[in-house]
Structure 1
Amino acid sequence: MSTIRRRLRSLLVALLAVAGAALAYGFVAAGERSVPAPLASYGATLEQGAYLARAGNCQTCHTQEGGEPFAGGLPFHTPFGVLYSTNITPDAATGIGSWSFTDFHASMKHGVRPDGSHLYPAFPYSDFARLTDADIAALWLYLQTLAPVNQSVPDNALDFPYNQRALLAGWKALFHDDATFEPDPAQSDAWNRGAYLVEAAGHCGACHTPRNALGAERETLAFTGGSYLDRVRFGYYRRWSGVNLTSDVTGLAAWSEEDIVDYLRDGISGNAVVHGPMREVVLNSTSQLSDGDLQAMAVYLKSLPANAQPPGPRPGAATVAAGELVYTVHCGSCHLPSGEGDGVLGVSLLGNPIVQAADPASLLNVILYGPHLPPRLVVGRSAMKMFGKRLSDTDIAAVASYVREEFGNGAGGVTPEQVKRQR
């Protein structure tokens, strides 16, 4: 175990012990949890619940590859170990068939199971807590209509002390806010709807915000890009980087509202083509939302003030020169010497959020493994080769550094060691 990891673990234990002690002395009490009104009082509908399930991308996270929808078992690889998503079909033995609406409400608002034990925040209840009780009721009604699937999920494989659920009481005391979303009267209806979808139902910050040593989102850097583990081609799990969604030049500054709508609806815009983990978000969630809601999300995202994480050290002149040579030979025919892309085979690299992400992991994954595109977009764009076996770590680091330095970008260099970690 590295020195850094030992220090982070010690910090986690210490902070959670303090928070747990505070909890024990009554600073946070289970009795303070909100209790919903009777289910029938909300006037919730199945159609509303089905739509919310799509907005929350529930199927993607609760369906393992080749498995039954919503039956759980999808692994989440985290710095603390492996977690598996739960079965949320109404099977009484292995799913949530024995739960009441109050039980479900408590899981969404407070991150607890019916027996009172804590849920791990890989289930983003800190975002879902912001949903209105009426929307939680609608989602509950919809889940009750799913076909029950009798399927147990594997036990979590977390390191000590992260496998001690009781410590999550301390984590919640530090980081969990169960307040429902409140519209801002100073903003438009579209802005408020977009904020609700982005911040609550869509839980976009879960992947697009960096996290601290305790696994909580760093609020001062909200939506400036996050890092997480997910699959690349061939089933390997590697780091990915969620891009900056603020109006910074490293984020969506060059994107119009129409660009954002096109990307969320179709997976393609004048600025980018969806790939990697985001493909499931588009396929199973945003592509199935109304144009009005997509426009609202775009309005909200474009309103986020510019913010960014510090760039890494700039690459040296020799690295940039070496990267330019690799780019000219292997990349320039599709992305053009100017980096503007030919509009068919190569996307623009100018101000590209993936290229400029604080963590270059997603860029490196594209270079190493090729873009992982939705089936309907695999046409000419699938011609991009996987360069993992064609180029050395040094060459890939050089060309990644080059595109992050040129074309109006300024994201910092990439080292061969970073490339090696992505292989």
Structure 2
Amino acid sequence: MVVVFGGVSAFLLMWRPAIEPVELPQHFDSEQLLRGARVVEAGDCAVCHTRPGGKYLAGGLGLVTPFGTLYSTNITPDPDTGIGRWSLPAFERAMRQGISRDGHFLYPAFPYVHYSRMTDEDIRDAYMYLISGPGVHAPATPNQMNFPMNIRPLVSFWNLLFLHSDRITALPDKSQTWNRGKYLVEGAGHCAGCHTPLNALGAEKSGQSLAGGVVDGWEAPSLRGMSSGPRPWTSEQLVGYLRAQVVPNHGTPAGPMRPVSLGLARLPLADVEAIADYLLSLQAPAATRSKESSKMTPIAAQQAAGLALFQGSCAGCHAPGAAMRTIDARPGLEQTSALHATSPRNFLKTVMEGIAPVPGMPGPVMPAFSASLSDDQLEALAAYLREQTQPDEPWTDLSSTIHDLRQEAK
């Protein structure tokens, strides 16, 4: 009897019914579509659901996880390969519970844990915007998940542990701007999805929200204590950075943050200011970083090599007298957050991968140096620039980080 009861309980936990397909409406309210476009932009939907060179929101982007590779799906209103037969209840279920219209479980790389906290109005507006666009026929690319995560019903147990759909409520003792920022960061923006360390099951570690993580080999820095760190952010700087601008003392977004910031630049300025207001209010956790080896000085030969590399490869854009500093607002490298970070990972990733041009935008653009600089040269350049920026705190893990990045690139 116990075995039967357990089997029935497991079946009920792992099974969800399909929701009947519907015919989509043909007429839409323009104001609702405008609101929906803002929700979709705040939720970074295009960042994951548009592959490089692909059609807008037609999916196909590969997302590498510790459990295998997922490919984002088509969320255009194509009736055969997209969401063109999805009703609003089916869309709401996907956003709040991670269940597709046909009843299969979605992997939590889709951030329904955060979307579940959004308002009914925002989810409805996003739905109307998505189904109003042009449909694109784009069949899903098969996922390549490792056993046992290739068995989708097992996600139900993950949800049981980590899906807590508490809505975001405004705090009466905080300003309207702060509450709006909290809603965007913790809801549609799902910032914790990248900026929080993950546990062995791929869920955000409890009690460490926004304390920093790693995404696609890039360090997603802690978003706590930004206003009081060694290089504190001002609201103006953070707003500019979030909108993909080059800002003094911190540079410009690169890596996975680049497309996110380009999306934020399309939001109303007031929303980005609200995000900055909320983030700058977060307090830093207790310092845990070791001071070991903080007094070590890089060898003179390495410093000389780093200086030569800077003059040959970087000075044309980043030296104090470089014309590009004025023409294209290229930052002095000593001003960038990557050179002041505890880890050299983001600086090295930027040098190795560069910053790709965005069609229709003048810049900033930076070439990739991965093929033209050897490991020793990358190490020398990084050590030299770190010495110019943080002479009392040299990076001691440059060689191992470069090795890791080379392996990850393969």
Letter in 1 for 2:253: V
Aligned sequence identity (%): 35
The residue that corresponds to 1:105 in the other structure is 92
The residue that corresponds to 1:208 in the other structure is 195
Matched, 1:354 2:333: no
1:325 corresponds, among 289, 304, 310, to: 304
Which runs of 5 or more residues in structure 2 are unaligned?
A: 1-5, 18-24
**In structure 1, how many angstroms separate the alpha carbons of the residues matched to 2:304 and 2:122?**
54
Residue 240 of structure 1 and its aligned partner are, at CA, apart by: 1.5
Q: TM-score, normalised by structure 1?
A: 0.78
2:90–2:100 CA contact under 8 A, matched in 1: yes
Residue 135 of structure 1 and its aligned partner are, at CA, apart by: 0.7
2:46–2:56 CA contact under 8 A, matched in 1: yes
Matched, 1:280 2:259: yes
1:367–1:388 CA contact under 8 A, matched in 2: no
Letter in 1 for 2:127: W
**1:225-248 deviation per Cα after TM superposition (whole angstroms, max 9, x unaligned):** 22122xxxxxxxxx1222222225
The residue that corresponds to 2:177 in the other structure is 190
**In structure 2, how many angstroms separate the alpha carbons of the residues matched to 1:322 and 1:217?**
43
2:14–2:153 CA contact under 8 A, matched in 1: no
**In structure 1, how many angstroms separate the alpha carbons of the residues matched to 2:49 and 2:225?**
32
The residue that corresponds to 2:399 in the other structure is 416
Alignment CA distance shift 1:215-1:355 (3 Å):
farther
1:223–1:245 CA contact under 8 A, matched in 2: yes
Residue 104 of structure 1 and its aligned partner are, at CA, apart by: 0.5
RMSD of aligned C-alpha atoms? 3.4
The residue that corresponds to 2:20 in the other structure is none
Alignment CA distance shift 1:310-1:27 (3 Å):
farther
1:159 corresponds, among 143, 146, 152, to: 146
Alignment CA distance shift 1:329-1:402 (3 Å):
closer
Letter in 1 for 2:350: V
Alignment CA distance shift 1:298-1:378 (3 Å):
same
The residue that corresponds to 1:243 in the other structure is 221
The equivalences for 1:13-412 within 5 A come to 24=10, 45-229=32-216, 239-248=217-226, 254-270=232-248, 271-283=250-262, 285-307=263-285, 310-311=288-289, 314=293, 317=296, 319=298, 321=300, 323-331=302-310, 333=315, 344-350=329-335, 352-357=336-341, 359-372=343-356, 374=358, 376-378=361-363, 382=366, 386=369, 388-391=371-374, 393-401=375-383, 403-404=385-386, 407-408=389-390, 410=393, 412=395
**In structure 2, how many angstroms separate the alpha carbons of the residues matched to 1:97 and 1:385?**
40
Which runs of 5 or more residues in structure 1 are unaligned?
A: 1-19, 32-38, 230-238
1:77–1:83 CA contact under 8 A, matched in 2: yes
1:244–1:308 CA contact under 8 A, matched in 2: no
Moved more, 185-194 or 63-72: 63-72
SS at match of 1:201: coil
SS at match of 1:221: coil
Residue 317 of structure 1 and its aligned partner are, at CA, apart by: 3.0
Q: What number of residue pairs does the alignment pair up?
A: 377
Moved more, 294-303 or 399-408: 399-408
2:344–2:395 CA contact under 8 A, matched in 1: no
Alignment CA distance shift 1:241-1:295 (3 Å):
same
Letter in 1 for 2:257: M
Alignment CA distance shift 1:21-1:140 (3 Å):
same
**In structure 1, how many angstroms separate the alpha carbons of the residues matched to 2:340 and 2:232?**
13
Residue 172 of structure 1 and its aligned partner are, at CA, apart by: 1.3
**In structure 1, how many angstroms separate the alpha carbons of the residues matched to 2:153 and 2:16?**
13
Alignment CA distance shift 1:395-1:322 (3 Å):
farther
Letter in 1 for 2:363: V
**In structure 1, how many angstroms separate the alpha carbons of the residues matched to 2:287 and 2:256?**
22
Alignment CA distance shift 1:243-1:422 (3 Å):
same
Q: TM-score, normalised by structure 2?
A: 0.81
Larger Rg: 2
Residue 316 of structure 1 and its aligned partner are, at CA, apart by: 7.5
